[in-house]
């Protein structure tokens, strides 16, 4: 149905803004290139993405969770706009107030040393809890980042291994939801946050698959 569905951003900085807010501000578009290439501008702060430099980076219309809050729609983030704990098992923290009490502190966000299988395990635990309670959030944002890969970096998994990990995790999540009591009322959208290409078997210009991206 979405055969002309294209990737939204050039890199993660603007990609996450497009995915979560449908807009990348002038600040984001001007700041990420010099920071991204490692210029002295990096001294001004961290990479301008996912709540860093909020509120100057925030679109005027806010983000999708802001609209949910206004409409009284329940929502929950798994790894998106979340700062990881120091090590796996340590709780994460929301980077913006709107996500406080609306995220899973035990779900680990972007960390290429952490398998997507364990992220899938955690989400499926949560799904089982939702089934037991009889209700789940109307909007779920789930991040499976390992399709990003570490390239050919020594000591890291190969790009093929990363992509396989990501593919399997996504499949397990979809299978779990499809077998749950919520399936008939569920729509799953998968989008990557940027189009820098890589080893994936789907071309980045029209990729419907994950690359450190959210699943709604």
Which residue ranges make up each domain of the chain?
Answer: 63-215
CA nearest neighbour of 175 among 187, 183, 165, 184: 183
- Residues 93, 76: Cα–Cα separation, whole Å: 13
CA nearest neighbour of 24 among 3, 8, 37, 46: 8
Query: Which residues have CB under 8 Å from 127's CB, separation 6+?
Result: 136, 176, 177, 180
Q: How much is the pTM? A: 0.87
Segment 62-120, tens digit of pLDDT = 999 999 999 999 999 999 999 999 999 999 999 999 999 999 999 999 999 999 999 99
Query: Which residues have CB under 8 Å from 187's CB, separation 6+?
Result: 216
pLDDT at 150 over 60: yes
């Amino acid at each position: 149905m979405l055969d002309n569905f294209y990737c939204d951003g050039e890199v993660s900085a603007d990609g996450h803004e497009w995915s979560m807010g449908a807009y990348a501000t002038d600040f984001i578009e001007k700041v990420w290139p010099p920071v991204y290439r490692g210029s002295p501008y990096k001294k001004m702060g961290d990479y301008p993405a996912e709540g860093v430099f909020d509120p100057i980076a925030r679109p005027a219309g806010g983000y999708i969770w802001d609209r949910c809050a206004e409409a009284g729609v329940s929502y929950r983030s798994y790894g998106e706009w979340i700062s990881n704990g120091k090590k796996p098992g340590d709780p994460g923290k929301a980077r913006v107030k709107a996500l406080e009490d609306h995220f899973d502190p035990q779900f680990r966000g972007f960390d290429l040393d952490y398998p997507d299988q364990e992220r899938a395990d955690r989400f499926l635990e949560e799904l089982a809890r939702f089934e037991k309670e009889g209700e789940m959030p109307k909007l779920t944002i789930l991040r499976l980042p390992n399709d990003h890969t570490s390239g050919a970096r020594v000591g890291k998994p190969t790009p093929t291994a990363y992509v396989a990990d990501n593919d399997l995790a996504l499949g397990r999540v979809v299978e779990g939801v499809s077998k749950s009591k919520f399936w008939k009322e569920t729509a799953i959208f998968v989008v990557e946050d940027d189009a820098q290409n890589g080893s994936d078997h789907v071309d980045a210009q029209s990729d419907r698959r994950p690359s450190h991206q959210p699943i709604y």
